[in-house]
Amino acid sequence: MKNIKSYLLIILLLVFTGQACTSDFEEINTNPNSPVEAPITNVLGYVLQDFSANYFGPLGDMSEPSSYSGQLGKLQYIDDAKYVFTSTNINTLWTVVYRDLKNAQAIIDQADKTGSTNMKAVGLTMQAYILQVATDRWRDIPFTEAFKGDAGYITPKYDTQETIYPAIITQLKTAADLFAAGGTDVLGEGDLLYGGDVKKWQKFCNSLRLRVAIRISNVSPATAKPVIEEIASSATTYPVLASNDDNALLNWPGSSPYIEPWNSNFMTRDDHGPSNTLINTLKELGDPRLAVYAKPAPSDGEYRGVEVGPPTSPIISLYSRIGVKFREDATGFSPFLRYSEVLFIMAEAAQKGWNVGGSTAETLYKAAITASLNENGITDAAVISTYLAGPGVKWDNTTNKLYTQKWLSLFKNGQEAWAESRRTDVPLLAAATGSPFTGHTRPPFRYPYPPTETTLNSTNSATFIAEITDNFWGKKMWWDTRTGVN
């Protein structure tokens, strides 16, 4: 038995040895691949790139919003133009929105901690931008409990668009005031939009405030009017984009994987073309942008737009393709917000009789069209004045021309063009004739919720999903004041 005692001692020794060997556990379990903190400028770069790649790409823009807005049709693979959707794409777009909102929040929080005023204002601006895109697409979405998974909100509740819009307005005002107060911090290498030019970010922020305000100008003029008038009356505190040089365009490096998304799609596919609505409108107006927006049909050299969502696939050689500037440049751009849009918003406000600082609606309208033409390389004053005097363009104090021109200027920003066509009902669009959902008089009012919200957040999403008809219709956007449409 003596021996056995000794052996037991050895066993105990082993136990002791085992325990003693945890000294370098913490070091072993320190992640050598990824940091716990990253420079926020690089996070800003991520948000800008990620959002652009998805929301200005074939998936988030070309195939769906740009066709719902009547600007692009599909030549091949026409399903999405007929509202036959791929549910996984919806999951992706939903996830992208929220991860970008979350990363923008990280920028805001980190900037707050370090007192980086400029960076905080940039973070608030980007977050508001993305939030508006999301609510304009899905209407009611998780917001107050959203992107707070790390605080335990794993099934966030939904908020209505009626509450989200005022929150966006407030957030942008905060950002605008931070810019106005001025900070000393630099934005760094991750500012892919303006290369660190804080002044331009300030203009972008205030211009975005105009976009948000004008969207709700019909449904809630009491909220919208003071925003626009405040900006119009204090150009130094709240400057807006003042020329095409100020345009918020993300320019792509042009090498894989950072190729301009429309071009990236064009490399391997030939699926999209300008719609018949777009081509016909440009033709009717004698618009010099026709040759910029479109290429003639290969078969006969005619500019011919394809129907959006016909029952059968078209013979593709008969139809125009998208212009070189927009789709055939790997180093092309993703347009967040352009100078012409600012002028169109001011023109609309002026026409409503709101105080925009003295300019008339007509002046602003003409300036807006000119800005858009200039942006598209049309700078010949004679060409421009001829165009402005044309019967379809000449200012007649109706919203129809204003809205048509704005719609034309928004080319390549499908998200915004779709929102404006829903708000204004201009141009007048019909639902795709090949749609399996019969009986609708307009293109989609909204976008389907992702299936993951049913499988993973069903309690909160159920009542909102129930308000949808045929995936794309049903309850309209808060700011969609159209009547008699379905």
Helices (H) and strands (E) in the chain, counts: 20, 10
> What are the DSSP calls for 216-260, one per residue?
TTTT-HHHHHHHHHHHHH-TTTS----SGGG-EEEEP--BTTBS-
Q: Which stretch binds another protein (CB under 8 A): 14-22, 119-127, 401-409, 411-419?
A: 14-22
Nearer to another protein, 38 or 378 (CB): 38
**Interactions with another protein, residue window 149-178 (CB under 8 A):** 149-156
Q: Which of 112, 177, 270, 380 binds another protein (CB under 8 A)?
A: 270
Residue 253 binds another protein, judged by CB under 8 A: yes
Residue 195 binds another protein, judged by CB under 8 A: no
Number of residues engaging another protein in binding (CB under 8 A): 105
Closest distance of CB 96 from another protein, Å: 8
**Interactions with another protein, residue window 303-362 (CB under 8 A):** 312-313, 315-317, 321, 328
Q: Are 342 and 240 in contact (CB under 8 A)?
A: yes
Residue 301 binds another protein, judged by CB under 8 A: no
Nearer to another protein, 10 or 222 (CB): 10
Residue 249 binds another protein, judged by CB under 8 A: no
Nearer to another protein, 33 or 184 (CB): 33
Closest distance of CB 410 from another protein, Å: 25
Residue 465 binds another protein, judged by CB under 8 A: yes
> What are the DSSP calls for 89-122, one per residue?
HHHHHHHHHHHHHHHHHHHHHHHHHHT-HHHHHH
**Interactions with another protein, residue window 133-152 (CB under 8 A):** 141-142, 146-152
Q: What is the spatial distance between Cα 417 and Cα 401, in angstroms, rounded to a whole number? A: 15
Closest distance of CB 250 from another protein, Å: 10
Residue type, position 25, single letter: F
Closest distance of CB 376 from another protein, Å: 21
- Comparing CA positions, the residue from 194, 179, 293, 169 lying closest to residue 247 is 194
Q: What is the spatial distance between Cα 79 and Cα 114, in angstroms, rounded to a whole number? A: 49
Q: What is the spatial distance between Cα 465 and Cα 472, in angstroms, rounded to a whole number? A: 11
Q: Are 408 and 290 in contact (CB under 8 A)?
A: no
Q: Which two tokens stand for residue 31?
A: 């992640």
Q: Which of 46, 395, 411, 478 binds another protein (CB under 8 A)?
A: 46
Q: Which of 65, 190, 305, 414 binds another protein (CB under 8 A)?
A: 190
Residue 79 binds another protein, judged by CB under 8 A: yes
Residue 300 binds another protein, judged by CB under 8 A: no
Nearer to another protein, 233 or 454 (CB): 454
The CA-atom distances, in angstroms, between 41 and each of 117, 189, 438 are 13, 6, 48
Residue 457 binds another protein, judged by CB under 8 A: yes
Q: Which stretch binds another protein (CB under 8 A): 209-217, 225-233, 356-364, 443-451?
A: 443-451
Binding mask 201-240 for another protein (x = CB under 8 A): ----------------------------------------
**Interactions with another protein, residue window 405-434 (CB under 8 A):** none
Nearer to another protein, 12 or 428 (CB): 12
Q: Which two tokens stand for residue 56?
A: 């200005």
Nearer to another protein, 11 or 242 (CB): 11
> Is 238 exposed, middle or buried, given 0-12, 13-18 or 19+ CB atoms closer than 10 A?
buried
Q: Which of 236, 268, 381, 483 binds another protein (CB under 8 A)?
A: 268
The helix (run of H) or strand (run of E) holding residue 321 is strand 321-322
Q: Which of 184, 256, 300, 301 binds another protein (CB under 8 A)?
A: 256
Nearer to another protein, 258 or 399 (CB): 258
- Comparing CA positions, the residue from 340, 383, 399, 18 lying closest to residue 211 is 340
Q: Which two tokens stand for residue 206?
A: 């205030």
- Comparing CA positions, the residue from 267, 248, 285 lying closest to residue 412 is 248
